[in-house]
Structure 1
Amino acid sequence: MTDQRKTLLILGSMDEFVLLVQRAKERGCRVLVADGYEQGPARAYADASFTVPATSTETLAHLCREHEVGALITSFSDTLFEAGCQVAYAAGLAAPLAPDKLECLRDKERMKEMFSHLGIPYPHSRVAPAEKAERACDGMRFPCVVKPLDGYGSYGVRVVRDADEVRAAAYKAAAESRRAAKVVLEEYDEGREFNMITWISKGRAFPVSIADREKSPRGDGELPHVSRIVYPSRFAERVMAEALRYAQRVADFAGIVNGPLCMQFFWSPESGMHVCEVAGRVFGYEHELLEYASGLSVEDLLLDTALDHEALAARLEAHDALAMEQRSCGLYFHMRDGIVANLAAARTALDAPYVQQSLLYYAEGDVARNARGGKPYAARAFLAATTYEELDVQSEAMFARFSITGAEGEELAIANCIPGGARNDAQDDAPTIRCTGAL
């Protein structure tokens, strides 16, 4: 007897896909999972799984045809989003973005051209070959950020203080680029930083959330690392309308009819808003925070996008991004290179009663490395509370207690900071920085 259930291919098998697979099966779908990770935990919950790299477009398209896949879902990383669009297009399935528009959400030079065309403000920047980067920075305001033209995450990204530092940083950045030995030189924006999730339904951009993206300094020219992301932003009412207008312009230009469109931007009362990047996927390692704060599930939105556009529209119409009842945050712990010797303090911190969920990425004896191919964090923890004040107190306690000791007795955990300390004052325009935690 032929299986009449809708067959979904979920591109991705790591831990963030487990709940997506489970909820798809709850809706009565037959779920296939595929990517290059043989031990991906989501495989255990799928009806069938395949070890095929996400970039193997033709192999995955053949798999879709062979198994009569009706829809493809992926998210959480730029690599998976790009691969998912390519596979869906090759298999004749609905895709959130046509392949000829992918570069607008992928290549930073094309993205900035799109911003200029659409009248979207962005940090002052230039694109140049690595060997000409020193000359290209003439007239730019330092500090500057040097980044690969088409890199993912923060690999190869450095802050430079003067022109003398540009050349070495440019060659390191260009080495991370897959397609071009060019780099982006961008003036460092001192404004507050935000993550915004919008969702496109029938061509209209709906606001889902705006979160405060807080960072802590690393030193030695490294880009400050993300240490806390807070849902909803304390400044959501002040930035929502303008940010949503820009998201709608991008959706119209790229031809996105249904699906997520996320945006990172800077804002301050003095300099206004500058959009850093846009992406066609949901932010990884934080989407759970939306559900803690509002009850709205990213997994449900992804499944509605694939299965039921009317349900998607209704869900988004009912959601108020400015009226979340709870507060939530993700804490992201980073570490220096070294051999992990003692995780007792880290485990104690992550076991605090107010922690909703946590993940420790290392075990004793592991070698920590921050280069490409290393683990994204030392650990992460999700917290939830009824007020910002309570969330800040919990966060400061976690930062103070978290510690990882190296083989020589050295502290490997990098100290995290909370801008402005434990307070809820969205009127303050220039937050002070107080560092807490292991030094």
Structure 2
Amino acid sequence: MQFYSTNNASHKSDLKSAVINGMAPDKGLYMPEEISVLPESFWQELPDMDLGEIGYHVLKPYFCPTIPEEEFKKLTKDAFNFPIPLEKVSENISTLELFHGPTLAFKDIGARFLARVMAQFTHDLDQNINVLVATSGDTGSAVANGFLGVEGVDVYVLYPKGLVSDVQEKQFTTLGQNVTAIEIDGTFDDCQRLVKSAFMDDELQKKLVLTSANSINLARFLPQMVYYFYAYAQAIKQGKTDIVVSVPSGNFGNLTAGLIAYRMGLPVKHFIAATNINDIVPKYLDSGIYSPAKSISTPANAMDVGDPSNFVRVQELFNKSWDGIKKTITGFVCKNEEIFEMIDKVFKEEGYILDPHGAIGYKSLNELLKDDEFGIFLATAHPAKFPETVEEIIKQKVEQPDRLKAFLAGTKNVEELSEEFEAFKKYLLKTCK
């Protein structure tokens, strides 16, 4: 399988180069040149497959034979080794709980997979791979923990000062070893700009091996397809059809993965791109005009993105057809006060505790779902990661999983930088191996 750049389809790369480099030389994002339609035998066996088996079959067309099939089967079994249950919340609406991994967030899926793929490719390099990742919340912790202790890989997590929750911050600033946390005096968009600028800098490219663990890296977003198939498998076991999936969306890697799953044959009726007030994509779906804006801070901070990198991949999947995108995706925008109202309403009426991101997903289905449809929203993070917001609304403590308590007991250790690229570049040249 070859992978092409979204900036120039004639520029193609093999898997190893695409994963290690993260972005194409022309600064485009990599996409698979073919999207495989899964055979009928897969659908017949799907209800009885575990998560690792689904991962093996779904991802094999893109990662094998570069990674031998037997090794890849072990890799997916190891990466996808925690439960992802489909839980009923209300009549005709269930949630796919993606927060049972090591850092209690959906990004554990992609980060654990990417770390294991990257480890396959580091053995013959004569210098370390430096992973740069910008985070508005959960990406940093998932990537940092996924790569913790991986030989030949150093991780640099950039995050906006004061704009991630205390719990999220503890999960990547207390690790040490091969993980460095960098607090940027700016927004998430500034962090993402610094990472992108580093990839475009000739001097850095010549002197260092840089790659990304954000969803711009194809080995980070492609594995997220796996849980869409797993959700479908659980839904059909429950006798559900006419499935609509709501995806709380920030940088749009998650929805892109769902759309590729759809192209591979996943029988989802429709997708909802549910955003907070950073509503660039819903506005595009209404007008056909894509107009990036400065990100705005909200209680659903992992979705505070004003220029989602992966939306170019969504456009690519539909040959940049606005009409085609609109037929498959509906936009939905949730205001800050509506997030609070939904957490309160669902807890009082259903006894289910939503985190701020899940609240947006649930609200979109509550308003847009038709009577004959079954809705699934992705619960992307455990509510215990947002105690300041959730506990104040539901008026009780959210039980903390033991692994979260362990993070909170750690000591924060960070580097502090401005949002200026030259300062970041100078730091990398001085620090990276």
Normalized against structure 2, the TM-score is what?
0.28
Higher share in helix: 2
| Larger RCO (CA within 8 A; separation ≥ 6) | 2
Structure of larger gyration radius: 1
